[in-house]
Amino acid sequence: MSVKLAFDRLGTWTVAGVKTPYPLNTQPNQVPYTSLPALVITPPTGGADAPFDLGLSKSACVLMVDHTLLVSGISGSYFGARVYATLDLIDAYFAKVKTDWTLNGQLLEPLQISGVRFATINYGGSAYNAVIFPHKWVLTL
């Protein structure tokens, strides 16, 4: 099981309604609004500038990874109808998760997602309405 292969697998995910999924190794410094909605890997909230937080035990490593859906550029508030319109994308994301719980066998345990949240984030100097899917991955050493 490989950290690199797990990230590679996540980057291949195609989700219904998402125009552009970006693998970690080809993520642009800025995502053009014409590429939205787009999936990118972002540093975990409250974490460092690395794309993941890493913990180790005797037999496994645990990674906390944020897979972020950039929905739209900022124009007004992100409430009500805008959030409602995003729910189809969230449903499609969870449908994709159900088809690849272990990132093609790279994870020791099925990935866990908790604390999904709507947010306004800054990515590459531009502001986006986004949905953040915090993943917990467990891999063997």
pLDDT tens profile 16-61: 999 999 999 999 999 999 999 999 998 776 555 555 666 666 778 8
Q: Which two tokens stand for residue 126?
A: 């531009």
Domains identified in the chain, total number: 1
d(CA 99, CA 120): 28
Q: Do residues 103 and 9 lie in contact, with contact meaning Cβ atoms separated by under 8 Å?
A: yes
Predicted pLDDT of residue 49? 54
The CATH number of residue 54's host domain is: 3.30.70
Over residues 70-101, the pLDDT tens digits come to 998 876 555 677 778 799 999 999 999 999 99
- Which residue range forms the structural domain that includes residue 44? 3-140
Higher pLDDT, 125 or 141: 125
Predicted pLDDT of residue 46? 52
Residues facing 133 on adjacent strands: 67
2: buried, middle or exposed (CB in 10 Å: 19+, 13-18, 0-12)? exposed
